[in-house]
Structure 1
Amino acid sequence: MNHVIMSALKKESIIGFFLLCLLSVFSPVTAADSHLSAVKSNGVLYFGTSSDYVPFTFYGADGTITGLDIQLAEEIANRIGVSLRVIDLAYDGLIDSVRVGQVDLIGGALSKSIENAQLVDFSRVYFMGTGRIVALKSKEIPADITLSFLSDKSIGVQGGTNFEQWVLANLVTEDRAAEQFLVRYLTIADAVKGLDQEEVDFVLMDLNTYNRYYKSSGNYQLILEDQIKEEFAFASHQDSSLIPEVNRQLNFMMLDGTAQRIAEDFFSNVYPISNSRRIRQSMPDSSGSSVQSEISCTNAMQFIGDVTIPDGSKINRGASFTKIWRIYNLGSCTWNMNYRLVPYNTVNSDHMSYQISRTVPPYSVYDFPVIMTAPSEIGDYQSSWQLQTSEGKNFGQTIWVKINVVEPEMDQSPEESSDLTAVPQ
């Protein structure tokens, strides 16, 4: 069942999310590198995002990536005088993709974390949310509790969010590892369901989400007065001259009301969620630092083209076929045979992962074949995939196979299949 996020925030509330620093509106671009000049010369701003976080970045009904962050980036590009090209990437691989120059700018509900700030330059914060800890109304909570009250309690969060990082940074101790109390869910709706079923003691979520969906039921309560900030920003490689220009354009957009109008459009609509930010299969260490900051080399992958089965290929229902993607190792890490291709937005993908068959050095090409079986029902189908490291971190461009399943020309007996699946070679 698709989860639905609905937001009907008043204009005043939306404006409150956006931070305006008038003193920096007319600040000059001072960074020393030539990144901004190169973008203007090329005429294109390459924007990397993970299209899985409504309403900031997601696939619209027309099959293109849209969202609050996409529209902001497009407006920035227009004001710079270039076009915008959006590249769909794994969320965990966004930082590396901009570090190696695969894209010029990254965004899409990108948290401005201390760890990532050591690797890239962030723009000013353009969105600020507030998180609160939610408990069942029936749960007895002592008065005047402090953060230590949570020391022996379990907490549910939506995986891959700033709130998860807050829990890791504030509640993990030498005596209490994350796996002992932190439960990651694909969506906040799943986390609340876990709270209802007493899988967890508390859930940490965005305050506006709580007020919009759960407060009126009377089944829940907020505990602790501490408010957890959620800050989103754009980012580019370190010392990029693009970031000061992005800041300048964001400031102008806030002054003339463009940013607020874009936000109002997306926060006042209803969007079905057909995909959710993927949860890492491995647990982060107790320090709360990301795998990204622990690895000296970078993981990045660029899609070159389809060797077989281009988009829209006609495949007989139930027939087996071999899809081959040609990809390029754009990073500095060597891909070994512990790297694998996994279905995108699938929680348990262990039974559907495909290891790389040889080592792939940096700056080299690899053809990745997967044998698939077409569904038994005619129609259009798509299956999306991402590369993954041995630590369970997805990276690189999202690749897919799109086919049109048709009736066989001759009388055949296709095997039963309800979805586009991959089978071992």
Structure 2
Amino acid sequence: MISHSLQNIYIYPHIFKSNVKQIDAQIVQEKIYSFFVEIVNKYAPEDVLIEFKSVFLDCLGLKNLDLTLGIYDVFINNEQVFRYTLKRCCYILVNNWESNRKHKYTQALIELIANYKSTVIDYKNTKITIFQTWLDNFIQSQDFHELKLFAYKNENKADNHWVNRYTSYLLAAQVVDKNNPEEQKEVAKKASKQLKDKFKFELAMYVAHSQSNASSQTRYRNPSMLGDDILRLIKAIIVRKGVFSYDNIANIFIKQTQNQTFKDFKESLVKYLIFSVQQPNFVDALQQQLSEKLVNWKPEYDDVTINKYLLLRTCNRMIDFLTTENSVKPTPLFVLLLSQGHPLTLVIVLLKIILICKNSRSHLESRIAHLIRYYDKYSEEECQWFINFIEIFNITFAIYAENVEYNLIKVKEAEKAHEVEFDPNAYRVFSQLKG
């Protein structure tokens, strides 16, 4: 047990015993953060959890009304400051434990908070009642829900709800949220990358072994929800190679537009995105709505030569048009395009945006997370079309990852010499992890 508890022996007596109205809350916060940074780096996780419980939970069970309520008294009348302080303290601990592979203590912290039950309900003590409500509000909040994502990641609770299969995107959204503390962004970034790397590896291994008869008894698990259709999809994604590959066309577009005015660039961008799209209805809807959106967007920059700043802003804006503009509901264009039954085409359009502006990747993943949150309230059966889109998105972006290379090898000739339609059965796909 740590001997110098912040709560029990008042390591900072001027904080917990002085007139709280005269205290600078920011100074108090920094002292509390420093305390948890110190103990999480020096002491056993079990002892750190005891200290956390002492500071944030035990004080709400005090029967002696003459005793201070510690951290709660410090932030009296300011629930939001208290909540942020509690949240950041959680991530100071989680960041350390996740970095040191002490995953079970992250789970223990989450359970400690989730299972909190006040030992005293004193309706005569208004302050205790208010502070107990603060803690209850935190447990019911989106902040705590985001913290629980680390339990899903570590315990593989993907079977509980379809949304949990896409935790990597929900974590990625935490990284770009400016309101989150740095410790949360850091640990969320690492966790999201781990999950994406795991999916890429499992997909590559599944592809490498699923086409071999010898591996029928020891077949690698399909990491997607698409079943046996996954190989046909992968072949359709990577069939475009050489001059007409998505990478090459993206590079050509960048070179051809580097000296254009912003007005001309907006027109070129729409043409680039619909280039080689074969579904006429999709093309018409996409061209009409994107052109209408872009033509009147940022007109004050129309005469400015395109630069990295405008490129990023424009690509992010296009992603908004194609997914969600308010971080809550999907755009009508997103619903329209998917309702036409071409999820792969929409995914490819999003991929083409990222290929010309890789810095938009985090914005795109954040928007995907917002869509997942929107459809969270629906059952898997009710939004199977959306889940199918996410699965195709997962596979497409895994294929275009920098550390995995996929290639098609033709294993049989077409039955007819003049046959030009792509036949996936005539090819085998090979995956290779790069060093």
Higher strand proportion (structure 1 or 2): 1
Higher helix proportion (structure 1 or 2): 2
The TM-score, its normalising length taken from structure 2, stands at 0.19
The TM-score, its normalising length taken from structure 1, stands at 0.19
